[in-house]
């Protein structure tokens, strides 16, 4: 386990800015990495990047799943944004190389959720307690598909209840008719049976546009955010950012070959920072509503009382 220095953040009640909590990043290797003693006993099924408040308290937990062939570290700025508002964010590295089939990722996510109740507390600061009665599950791109797949029961049962489900520009394949297994979308309106959990779907307006003729769009029509939202039941919220792309919620600087590729493969907006702040803020508002029973920010978004860092292409809700 490696613990990064505490990151101090300015106190703020603005959901689109860093929150009032100081945060700390923690990295944990998986149990297959040969560690001994406590790390071996309690280490998780997959490597984890965790961002936690450092102040004393009990905090809800969000599990955030990365997109296809991306690293969990590419989401560090988004993760810190959410954690600074009083949440423990757990981001697993589900794989480094993967084929089209997502069954193993769904099963791995179920195992991580089951691990949380026995293992998470051993890696957090002693004054920080996770409230696992308040658990959210989020995923970006293919990770969004995995999140919905697990919530729809396409895996082993989990030992914890999920109270909030978030799809960040979720994608279910190449296009309609070419979904990757297991298929999540049935194209039957309001058919998702998620046990009454609150649902948030965030889409990118540029995700369905090709970057260049050599590559398909990163979030194609027929398998993207709109199709996921169409199958949601109440309560569900749907935001689409107009001038931003499928990877614009990642860190400003994503390193390495894969990191550089995130600027080349998808149609992007001019700058990542506004989209990342938007995604972070909407996620915070939603988590406060469905994990903390505080609907003020979410109601403000519904009623147009919040100043957004992006222009919306579409907003809908089922409540």
- CA 7, CA 163: separation in Å to the nearest integer? 28
pLDDT at 38 > cutoff 60: no
Q: How many C-beta atoms surround the C-beta of residue 300 within 10 A?
A: 14
Q: Is the whole-model pTM more than 0.75?
A: yes
Residues taking part in catalysis: 141, 169, 246
- CA 249, CA 238: separation in Å to the nearest integer? 16
- So what's the pLDDT on residue 290? 97
- Look up the domain containing 128 and give its range: 2-318
- So what's the pLDDT on residue 260? 94
Judged on CB neighbours under 10 Å (0-12, 13-18, 19+), 72 is: buried
Please give the C-alpha separations between residue 195 and each of 151, 153, 165, 198, 234, in angstroms, as whole numbers.
9, 10, 11, 9, 10
Stronger pLDDT, 37 or 31, i.e. the higher one: 31
**Backbone phi, psi, residue 209, to 5°:** -105, 135
Decide: helix, strand or coil at residue 89. Answer: strand
Judged on CB neighbours under 10 Å (0-12, 13-18, 19+), 177 is: exposed
Q: Please compute the mean of the pLDDT values over residues 213-239 and round it to a whole number.
A: 95
**Strand order, beta sheet including 23-28:** 2-3, 23-28, 48-53, 88-92, 57-65, 128-140, 164-168, 198-204, 236-241, 312-318
- So what's the pLDDT on residue 6? 42
pLDDT tens-digit map of 41-65:
789 999 999 999 999 999 999 999 9
Q: Please compute the mean of the pLDDT values over residues 119-138 and round it to a whole number.
A: 96
pLDDT tens-digit map of 8-17:
343 346 999 9
Which of 296, 293, 292 minimizes the C-alpha distance to 305? 296
- CA 183, CA 101: separation in Å to the nearest integer? 9
Q: What is the CATH number of the domain that holds 217?
A: 3.40.50.1820
Q: Please compute the mean of the pLDDT values over residues 106-132 and round it to a whole number.
A: 96
Q: Cα 216–218–221 angle (5° rounding)?
A: 85
- So what's the pLDDT on residue 197? 95
Decide: helix, strand or coil at residue 70. Answer: coil
Domain count along the chain: 1
């Amino acid at each position: 386990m490696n613990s990064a220095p505490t990151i101090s953040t300015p106190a703020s009640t603005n959901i689109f800015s860093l929150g009032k909590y100081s945060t700390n990043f923690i990295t944990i290797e998986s149990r297959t990495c040969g560690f001994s003693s406590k790390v071996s006993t309690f280490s998780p099924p997959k490597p984890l990047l965790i961002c936690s408040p450092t102040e004393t308290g009990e905090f809800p937990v969000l599990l955030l799943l990365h997109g296809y062939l991306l690293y969990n570290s590419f989401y560090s700025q988004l993760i810190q944004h959410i954690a600074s508002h009083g949440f423990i964010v757990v981001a697993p590295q589900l794989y480094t190389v993967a084929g089209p089939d997502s069954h193993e990722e769904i099963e791995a996510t179920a195992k991580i959720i089951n691990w949380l109740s026995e293992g998470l507390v051993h890696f957090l600061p002693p004054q920080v307690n996770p409230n696992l009665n308040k658990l959210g599950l989020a995923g970006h791109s293919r990770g969004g598909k995995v999140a919905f797949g697990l919530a729809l029961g396409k895996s082993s049962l989990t030992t914890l209840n999920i109270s909030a489900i978030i799809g960040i520009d979720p994608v279910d394949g190449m296009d309609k008719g070419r979904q990757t297994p297991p298929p999540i979308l049935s194209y039957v309106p309001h058919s998702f049976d998620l046990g009454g959990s609150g649902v948030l779907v965030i889409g990118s307006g540029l995700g369905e546009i090709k970057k260049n003729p050599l590559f398909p769009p990163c979030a194609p029509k027929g398998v993207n955010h709109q199709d996921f939202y169409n199958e949601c039941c109440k309560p569900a919220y749907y935001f689409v950012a107009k001038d931003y792309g499928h990877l614009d919620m990642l860190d400003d600087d994503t390193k390495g070959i894969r990191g550089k590729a995130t600027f080349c493969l998808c149609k992007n907006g001019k700058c990542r920072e506004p989209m990342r702040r938007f995604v972070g803020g909407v996620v915070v508002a939603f988590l406060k509503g469905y994990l903390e029973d505080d609907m003020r920010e979410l109601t403000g978004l519904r009623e147009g009382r919040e100043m957004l860092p992006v222009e919306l292409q579409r907003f809908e809700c089922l409540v």
